[in-house]
Amino acid sequence: MRGVIESTNTAMADGKHAAHNTEFYLKEYESLRKELDWHNEYVRSTEKAVALAVGVVWAWLVTHPQAKWPWFIPVLFVVLGILRSISVSRHFGRLHEYLKQLESAFSANGDPGGWEHYLRWQSQSLSKSSIAFWTVLLLASIGVALYECSL
């Protein structure tokens, strides 16, 4: 197995700890998988927080109808949420690619190749559910702002 890792990355195979790299890579893989799970929870919590913020601002604006421009504040929240989700998604992509390299190093012929290979995950892309969520929330916040400003 060590030979597989060394042939995958010959530039680092001569490091002073190369003889013990298998344990390091396995622990790193476990740690990175946990980080991916945490990031997935973070993305979902960002979506919930932005939706809640938009709802709270709308509720406040309904009770304070004198100003028109604040109706665009929720649009700003949504745009910032989209940018944050894209950033996290790109980080996901880098983690996925690296985990695929680690899985390749420990894979043998005939095995499934690991979770990252099974997914054939497209790096730097948002999930379809995230795209749908952000699209609907953005269109709704723009639509409400335009409607309220036209009254």
Torsion over CA: 124, 130, 131, 135 (sign)? negative
What DSSP designation does 15 have? S
C-alpha angle 121-127-130 in degrees, rounded to nearest 5 = 165
C-alpha angle 79-123-22 in degrees, rounded to nearest 5 = 130
pLDDT at 116: 62
Contacts of 49 (CB under 8 A, 6+ apart): 81
Parts of the chain with a pLDDT under 50: 1-13, 15, 17, 123-124
The Cα-based distances of 76 to 57, 137, 143, 148 in angstroms read 11, 11, 13, 16
CB 74 within 8 A of CB 145: yes
pLDDT digits (tens, 9 = 90+) for 69-83: 999 999 999 999 999
pLDDT at 142: 97
Helix segments in the chain, DSSP class H = 2-8, 21-63, 73-106, 115-119, 128-150
Q: Supply the pTM of this predicted model.
A: 0.69
**Looking only at Cα atoms, what is the longest distance across the chain?**
72
Tokens coding 40: 């997935």
pLDDT at 113: 61
